Structure 1
Amino acid sequence: NLAVALAERGLRVLLLDCDVDAPDAHQLLGVKLGEEREVHSFLPEIEQSTCVFCGKCAKACRAHALIQVGEKTPILFPDLCSGCEACLLVCPTGAVKRSHKVMGWTYQASRGRIDLVSGRLKLGEAESAVVVRAVRKRAKELLEKNVYDVALVDTAPGAHCDVLRALYGAKYALTVTEPTPFGAHDLELILKLLDVMQIPAGVVLNRSNITERRDLIMGICERHGVRLVAEIPLDRAMVDCYIRGEPVVLCSPEAPGARALKELSSRVLEVLEL
């Protein structure tokens, strides 16, 4: 919705959906994802004729994806492999060969002045960081070909390593929370991370009318010296628009949530001096 609100103001927007475990930006934009590309990760392949059963590859594997049992070829557990290539580096005989596995996919789509790059992690895989990096790499290709006024990155919830990777290079971060103890807990974590990364931030209070605990969020804002830049209430129009797969700022522009999102876009323009 923020991307659409900025595009409605005449800006060219590049939108990255880095929530690769549950990507949904395309659904809210009402577009179909296309131009699928596979995302690969390194996977070792042990050449039996060259292996001397030294076990160095298994000792180097911090994910315990390789196990050495006696004088036998190491056993590989592909689902545990993180693709770090340590086994390839330590093998003294070159018995570890390069192979790969599919970790997920990246996609592209467009709507008006918005170009979307999205990623999806393959079901059952755990290393979502690989797909996040692929989304950023594909977005970089678009940045080299086109001129954009702003790039927006939608991260996964929380303050884990995938969020860290998605935030690299950001000039400003909008932290979205809600007036609940759970929301306050996560807000504290992400603001600490942003302090370490030295990225200026503002707070958006989503579903601001679901409780009366606004004070929880304001206290955290004061402690970290950040502004509450927007309050977005939950209203029926937003739910209806989401069900239809349309941005609320277009399908119900006079709804309270839509007006709040438009005000947020104005503040983003002020902060970024656009």
Structure 2
Amino acid sequence: MSERLVVVHPDAEAVAAGAAARLLTLLLDRQSVSATTHIALTGGTVGIALLAHVAQSPLVAAVDWTGVHLWWGDERFLPEGDGDRNEVQAHKALLDSLTHLPSENVHTMPAARDGLSVEHAALEYTQELAQWAPEGSTVPPFDLILLGMGPDAHVASLFPNHPDALTAGMGAIPVHNSPKPPALRVSLTFETIASSDQVWIVAAGAEKAAAVSAGLSGSDPVNTPVSAARGRSRTLWLVDAAAAGEAQPA
């Protein structure tokens, strides 16, 4: 049975620092039993701060980065090098400092370029996911998918009441008319997220308290997408006191 835990930190900085420590511990634990780990990263203020804390930790040198594969939960369909892309921010915060991380282990979602539609970008990522999938699956054996959450309870680029959110049968999907700019994005699907052994949701700020409460109460995923973000063995909510509101650790 899948386990759900809520960990409340005093503020956003503590959420990022705590999540970074947990991520490094998870990587070291997994590498004691497996040569390869697959992690999907998230963007956003807390998600990028998390990566910066990883870069600053002395434990970062203990990880065998040659065996770590990094993916993304979603990405803005913008030109390569655009500062609003999650992968650009992730490189600045952490990846550029990981000299032992092979470039082929960094699975960036396609950037916008001439002749490439967002539909084909999602298809390219779906195909890359499939290349690393074990027999009988269409996605890699994710050890962890990290997710931020918006005040509207969206995760990745799966927004409430949005026609793209419930797409099934693909590892990644194109997102049109995103209610949060930019309008075009690529996102992992709910199915891909649910395939991960663990899913961690990081959130901070009082403006997210209602979404945290709705997600923990199991509200309809159509209205509250974060409700569908669950790992196979563990779902971990890492939130600050303001976002937790009246939610209690469980």
Same fold (TM over 0.5): no
Q: Which has the higher strand share?
A: 1
Normalising by the residue count of structure 1, what TM-score does the alignment of the two structures yield?
A: 0.36
Normalising by the residue count of structure 2, what TM-score does the alignment of the two structures yield?
A: 0.39
Structure number with bigger Rg: 1
Structure number with the bigger relative contact order (C-alpha 8 A, sep ≥ 6) is 2
